[in-house]
Chains A and B, each alone.
Chain A
């Protein structure tokens, strides 16, 4: 048996565990596909071929010896290049970090994926220091959209979106501070999970905004997303924000009925500044779920503003010394945003953090009577690379600043979200399935039901 690009992680793991496919063959197939298509997609910044082959051979040896293998045996995956990969400098999309010493140890989430049998094949392109929604990178070039390579992958986990959307690997890991998992998922037409804040360890990943940073998986099916999520869960003393809750596996629950779940459409802010395709995508998902109730999310625009303030100031604090010493080695657009962030008075940042408490309480109240909220993941399908403005209802608006307007008010208070791809023509677009804290299982069950109904799916890459 040979590994085909359309094989999901679960298919590969089953075939490897059952002896129909070797882990090495699955790995070689991914490496060949990367070689064939990544010249165009530009999703990888490092391909760890020899490491991957060694890991795959070890899995095949385990199987030959009759030893038990994990639920992701032989599944190739790749990580945004802000994850520590032993032997590589963790560049986080920057020029400056290339001077760092190579990481000595893998990030916790890589260790957990590999402990489950997955095979790391490389590190992925991203926006500089994750301060980005486009997937463009001045140092490494843009990662490209697999459905139209003249368009953005979305960012900042652009390479993660591009690599999974292009079916180079079935699973990738990325980070999401304000939307950086959900935006590339939307533009590249794949599934992405931004778990509850604190759910997955961030240990040995390069930070951006400590109060808002999350890590999570991308995949081409809900089953794969759940498999990756389950093996990565668990406390980690090396991330101070990581929860001490025990592992709560979701894979066994995916097929449970969703009848009885109270699903509503997020109103107000989430129904403004949207192109018709975003309206259509939410409408299709809502119709399939029988959702008609619209719930206003109070002060969501202000929540987005507060997220912006916290991001720019905490980001500036993180990079302050680099801004002093190596300002000309930054992408000028990132540098100028961070310098401005350093100049925001602390009193206003404190108020933004206080507002977070208030806003969280409002959402907690809403989740007393609703289980799931639906909202657009992005206001539009993937814009053209380099596009500066878009025209919305006759008003010219900057693309970069507005891509994340519907994701920011959600990550601001750490709610779990599954971004599901609605395969519209000519380009896919995502919808956010949003739940109360620690209810990833509900969001994934709803996503799984939508996938079974055929309403959401990761389309085959149209641009390759």
Chain B
């Protein structure tokens, strides 16, 4: 049975021209699950609309 993220991995792989060999897929999927879980944790936190990003950080 296909894993829920597999279609997504295939689509992004194609969009980015970034090959993912079958042998790497389980590890890529596992890492992506962790990244998305942590990203969701950040996403859940409500921020004021005015909050600016810090792409180049100034201490």
Q: Which residues of A contact B (CB under 8 A)?
A: 196-199, 210-212, 240-241, 243, 299, 301-302, 305-306, 308-309, 312, 320, 323-324, 327, 332-333, 335-337, 339-345, 348-358, 360, 401, 413-415, 437-438
Number of interface residues of B (CB under 8 A): 36
Can you list 9 contacts pairing A with B, beta carbon distance less than 8 Å?
A197-B58, A199-B59, A211-B57, A306-B38, A309-B39, A341-B35, A344-B39, A348-B39, A352-B42
The answer to whether A337 and B31 touch across the interface, beta carbons within 8 angstroms, is yes
The answer to whether A339 and B24 touch across the interface, beta carbons within 8 angstroms, is yes
Q: Which residues of B contact A (CB under 8 A)?
A: 8-9, 12-13, 16-21, 24, 27-29, 31-32, 34-36, 38-43, 45, 47, 51-59
B58, closest chain A residue (CB)? A198
With beta carbons under 8 angstroms apart, the residue of A212, A327, A344, A437 that contacts B19 is: A327
If the complex has contacts A353-B53, A358-B47, are A305 and B59 also in contact, measured as CB distance less than 8 A? no
Complex Cα–Cα for A198 and B55 (A):
13
List the 10 shortest-distance A-B pairs measured between CB atoms, nearest first. Answer: A340-B31, A353-B53, A437-B59, A305-B38, A336-B27, A348-B39, A340-B32, A414-B59, A305-B41, A354-B51
**How near does chain B come to A288, taking the closest CB pair, in angstroms?**
28
B18 cross-chain contacts in A, Cβ below 8 A? 320, 323-324, 339, 342
A349 cross-chain contacts in B, Cβ below 8 A? 39
A355, closest chain B residue (CB)? B42
Complex Cα–Cα for A332 and B13 (A):
17
A332 cross-chain contacts in B, Cβ below 8 A? 24, 27
With beta carbons under 8 angstroms apart, the residue of B13, B21, B57, B59 that contacts A438 is: B59
Complex Cα–Cα for A320 and B12 (A):
13
**Extra inter-chain contacts (15) besides given A312-B31, A414-B59, CB under 8 Å:** A197-B59, A301-B41, A308-B34, A309-B38, A336-B31, A339-B20, A342-B18, A344-B32, A344-B35, A348-B39, A348-B43, A351-B42, A353-B54, A356-B57, A358-B51
With beta carbons under 8 angstroms apart, the residue of B12, B19, B53 that contacts A357 is: B53
With beta carbons under 8 angstroms apart, the residue of B28, B56, B57, B58 that contacts A339 is: B28
The answer to whether B28 and A336 touch across the interface, beta carbons within 8 angstroms, is yes
B9 cross-chain contacts in A, Cβ below 8 A? 343
**How near does chain B come to A330, taking the closest CB pair, in angstroms?**
10
A243 cross-chain contacts in B, Cβ below 8 A? 59
The answer to whether A308 and B24 touch across the interface, beta carbons within 8 angstroms, is no
The answer to whether B35 and A196 touch across the interface, beta carbons within 8 angstroms, is no
**How near does chain A come to B7, taking the closest CB pair, in angstroms?**
12
With beta carbons under 8 angstroms apart, the residue of A210, A212, A352 that contacts B39 is: A352
B9, closest chain A residue (CB)? A343
Complex Cα–Cα for A438 and B59 (A):
8
B54 cross-chain contacts in A, Cβ below 8 A? 211, 353-354, 356-357, 360
**How near does chain B come to A337, taking the closest CB pair, in angstroms?**
5
A344, closest chain B residue (CB)? B35
A348, closest chain B residue (CB)? B39
**How near does chain B come to A368, taking the closest CB pair, in angstroms?**
16
**How near does chain B come to A435, taking the closest CB pair, in angstroms?**
11
Complex Cα–Cα for A197 and B34 (A):
27
A339 cross-chain contacts in B, Cβ below 8 A? 18, 20, 24, 28, 31
B21 cross-chain contacts in A, Cβ below 8 A? 327
B38 cross-chain contacts in A, Cβ below 8 A? 305-306, 308-309
B55 cross-chain contacts in A, Cβ below 8 A? 211, 353
The listed residue with most A CB atoms (<10 A of its CB), out of B9, B28, B36, is B28
Complex Cα–Cα for A132 and B47 (A):
31
Complex Cα–Cα for A333 and B18 (A):
16
The answer to whether B53 and A340 touch across the interface, beta carbons within 8 angstroms, is no
With beta carbons under 8 angstroms apart, the residue of A335, A337, A414 that contacts B57 is: A414
The answer to whether B42 and A198 touch across the interface, beta carbons within 8 angstroms, is no
Complex Cα–Cα for A252 and B4 (A):
60
The answer to whether B59 and A333 touch across the interface, beta carbons within 8 angstroms, is no
**How near does chain B come to A187, taking the closest CB pair, in angstroms?**
23
With beta carbons under 8 angstroms apart, the residue of A336, A342, A348 that contacts B42 is: A348
A327 cross-chain contacts in B, Cβ below 8 A? 19, 21, 24
Complex Cα–Cα for A199 and B27 (A):
37
The answer to whether A340 and B19 touch across the interface, beta carbons within 8 angstroms, is no
With beta carbons under 8 angstroms apart, the residue of A198, A333, A350 that contacts B53 is: A350
Complex Cα–Cα for A77 and B51 (A):
43
A212 cross-chain contacts in B, Cβ below 8 A? 57
Complex Cα–Cα for A346 and B27 (A):
21
